[in-house]
Amino acid sequence: MIAEKMKSMVANSSAIRAMFEEGNRLAGIYGAENVYDFSLGNPNVPAPPAVKDSIIEILKESDPVALHGYTNSNSGYADVRQTVAESLNARFGTAFHLENIVMTVGAAGGLNVILKTLLNPGDEVITFAPYFGEYRAYVSNYDGVLVEISPNTVDFQPKLDEFEQKITKKTKAVIVNTPNNPTGVVYSEDTIRRLAGILKEKQREYGTQIYLISDEPYRELAYDGVEVPYLTRYYDNTIIGYSYSKSLSLPGERIGYLVIPDEAADSEEVRGAANVATRILGFVNAPTLQQKVVAKCIDESTDLSFYDRNREALYNGLIECGFECIKPQGAFYLFVKSPVEDEREFCQAAKKYNILMVPGRSFACPGYVRLAYCVSHEMILRSLPRFQELSREYF
Amino acid sequence: MIAEKMKSMVANSSAIRAMFEEGNRLAGIYGAENVYDFSLGNPNVPAPPAVKDSIIEILKESDPVALHGYTNSNSGYADVRQTVAESLNARFGTAFHLENIVMTVGAAGGLNVILKTLLNPGDEVITFAPYFGEYRAYVSNYDGVLVEISPNTVDFQPKLDEFEQKITKKTKAVIVNTPNNPTGVVYSEDTIRRLAGILKEKQREYGTQIYLISDEPYRELAYDGVEVPYLTRYYDNTIIGYSYSKSLSLPGERIGYLVIPDEAADSEEVRGAANVATRILGFVNAPTLQQKVVAKCIDESTDLSFYDRNREALYNGLIECGFECIKPQGAFYLFVKSPVEDEREFCQAAKKYNILMVPGRSFACPGYVRLAYCVSHEMILRSLPRFQELSREYF
């Protein structure tokens, strides 16, 4: 009895579910400490203590009717939006004001809001493989067509030649995700400048507006002092989708925001429609207590050294085994080349050693596997001898 | 640049926004205490103290990684779902288990999840006027067609003759809302039995399955000891959408649930798809801290006497003025007959006395106005002389 459109989504989802259940099954047999589950992007760093302190403070100082009530605007509390705008301005030299900010139910909620706001059926949305597979569902929710740029497996920067060729009159938006899930690669400033240049030229050529949607849940997770360019500074029609899931380790609380700058085409109309989309999609408003929390914790950050230590240990360990992998500059994923063409075989072989990884085809990039290193450091250390054994099957 | 589908939604939304701003404008001129804003359904009763205590307890006793992390299932924490199921079983003699419960981002989120799960483009969803106007948007989100049954202005029970005639092969779902927004009427057990009977007969006639979706944010708000029938007991294909927005005064926190009983057609498939819809619509999971809160506060309730006192004062006051109105048995709305045919004129006239009300056509029932009495009791008392003055224009 379910909708036709849901059927493929459900089938796809069952694969993820099966992996999760496989982890539980293996843990039941071998003990949880002997299973190396690298399949999930659930942060393992606790929220900073300021989160807990803030919640208690907010509860003490707020009138519960106001604290837990609907916000006056579906876009969120004015003071919270202003705090977010000012924090971005201080960090990135932007000039946002509260009206540019729409508080959202995480980045996933924000992406749905902006796609609902913008897409007519048949509109094209371009993204660069490898990409987070949910984009396909989000675009399909509004009857858009996801157009994929094939992966550049040399350095996983986007293939801009192919991008230029695939932009059409129907291109309404482009989604980028940097630092990237699943590669951990940060798109360089040079990449961003060229990408912006192509978009500007194509807008002129077709007389259209093309929105660049930057999905930034991993913005704060960048290592070795690498800069993650702030895209509104390179291209006017940029919309940012942000989440506190990783930066404050609050993924379950569903809190993030959209930035719709004044410079974006029809900015006021888009902001107004995003406000309405927030309501009619059923979000209504981002959870109110968590809005107040992120404003209070605006200068807090997660313990990056935790992930960095994992990154070094797992990357070095895998390279020593003979595996090939780009050293990630951000996020908490390694994207490893499968030693056999069909990476599903590789995933299957890894299971013999109780190692769980996600096949690259889930990210439109077969021949690779994703390992999420947002796990305990001890698990990584324990897993390395098992990766050694696995590598001996190939090298 | 916004989507065509959004344009009418935005226009419609501007009317609500304009009313809100009118309230602020009047408050600026006359002082907030001299404006009688009955337009908003934002509860004015604080959350029970147990909510605050629970949050502090949960923060103290939980590992923050688990507390603020993604839930293992997009449908929510297993223990919370089990607690909800058991509470329903104790109250309504049902036999739900955790798999029947999907935790949602409020009832609005829940309705979107179940409509996304069920609707193919062109599928018909029937509802009874007067109804909450957002249903139109929710159904349209999934390209369904909302079929409206005209209002029965005698007692605002649904018109079942017309209902029977309007069910077709394409009818996929029926949405009911009892206690009702905007009338405050509770559909009687007799109504429910007859409605269920018609649905069963039509299912047989067409060889289809028709889901009855019960939108129940006002379930706990019933006065004079009136019973609100629990619909799964009358019709197998019933799906409940519940929200804690009113019962725990947590509308801004976005927490509720769906009940998809074992008895519903293809129950397991529908539950699985609702789980996936929760994720791909961008909700991902209901906010985790609030899931734990509602489980801890499962036996708490809001102070009904607050609303009841308002109901009596406003209802009696209006009747004394000569206005006509059904005495509501639930929710926190009065649906008053406009003394002139076009209720927008009545709303306009009321503004001269700083009284704000919502025209009935927002609920597909012109000729009436909605007053939300989830306001301070003092405001109601202060407003009554103004209603007296208003009434003198008509009687």
Alpha-carbon span A74 to B20, nearest angstrom: 13
Write out chain B residues lying below 8 Å of A1, CB-based: 118, 209, 211, 265-266, 269-270
Q: In this model, does residue A16 exceed pLDDT 90?
A: no
Write out chain B residues lying below 8 Å of A69, CB-based: 42-43, 249, 251-252
- DSSP letter at A68? S
Q: Is the ipTM of this complex over 0.85?
A: yes
Q: Between chains, do A13 and B279 touch, taking CB under 8 Å as contact? A: yes
* Axis-axis angle for helices A78-92, A288-296 (nearest 10): 40
Q: How many CB atoms lie within 10 A of CB A19?
A: 19
State the pLDDT at residue A301.
87
Q: Which amino acid is at A325?
A: C
Contacts of B53 (CB under 8 A, 6+ apart): none
Query: What is the nearest CA distance from A344 to chain B, expressed in angstroms?
Result: 23
* Axis-axis angle for helices B288-296, B78-92 (nearest 10): 40
Alpha-carbon span B292 to B268, nearest angstrom: 25
Alpha-carbon span B283 to A217, nearest angstrom: 15
Alpha-carbon span B373 to B361, nearest angstrom: 19
Alpha-carbon span B283 to B74, nearest angstrom: 9
Q: Are A62 and A386 in contact (CB under 8 A)?
A: no
State the pLDDT at residue A24.
86
Please tell me if residue B272 touches chain A, with a CB cutoff of 8 Å.
yes
Sign of the Cα pseudo-torsion (A211, A4, B212, B98, in order): negative
The 3-state secondary structure of A155-214, one letter per residue: CCCCCHHHHHHHCCCCEEEEEECCCCCCCCCCCCHHHHHHHHHHHHHHHHHHCCCCEEEE
How large is the greatest C-alpha to C-alpha distance in chain B, in angstroms?
64
Residues of chain B falling short of pLDDT 50: none
pTM higher than 0.90 for the full model? yes
Q: Are A332 and A307 in contact (CB under 8 A)?
A: yes
Q: Which amino acid is at A184?
A: G
What is the distance, to the nearest Å, from the Cα of residue B378 to the centroid of all Cα atoms in its chain?
A: 26
Alpha-carbon span B176 to B128, nearest angstrom: 7
User: What structural domains and CATH numbers belong to chain B?
Assistant: 4-48+302-391 (3.90.1150.10), 69-296 (3.40.640.10)
> Phi/psi class of residue A243: alpha, beta or left (left: φ > 0; alpha: ψ in -120 to 50)?
beta
Please tell me if residue A75 touches chain B, with a CB cutoff of 8 Å.
no
pLDDT tens-digit series, residues A275-289: 999 999 999 999 999
Q: Between chains, do A281 and B44 touch, taking CB under 8 Å as contact? A: no
Confidence of residue A19 (pLDDT cuts 50, 70, 90): confident
State the pLDDT at residue A21.
82
Tell me the C-alpha to C-alpha distance, in Å, between residue A126 and each of A144, A173, A176, A359, B67.
Answer: 10, 6, 9, 22, 36
State the pLDDT at residue B42.
85
pLDDT tens-digit series, residues A203-240: 999 999 999 999 999 999 999 999 999 999 999 999 99
pLDDT tens-digit series, residues A302-337: 889 999 999 999 999 999 999 999 999 999 999 999
State the pLDDT at residue B302.
85
Contacts of B347 (CB under 8 A, 6+ apart): B356, B357, B358, B359, B369
Query: What is the nearest CA distance from B374 to chain A, expressed in angstroms?
Result: 11
pLDDT tens-digit series, residues B60-102: 999 999 999 999 899 999 999 999 999 999 999 999 999 999 9
For chain A, percent helix, then strand, then coil, each to nearest 5? 50, 15, 40
State the pLDDT at residue B20.
79
Alpha-carbon span B78 to B113, nearest angstrom: 19
Q: Between chains, do B252 and A280 touch, taking CB under 8 Å as contact? A: no
State the pLDDT at residue A168.
98
- Nearest by CB: B254 against A46, A110, A287: A287
pLDDT tens-digit series, residues A166-197: 999 999 999 999 999 999 999 999 999 999 99
Please tell me if residue B28 touches chain A, with a CB cutoff of 8 Å.
no
State the pLDDT at residue A26.
92
DSSP helix/strand/coil, B325: strand
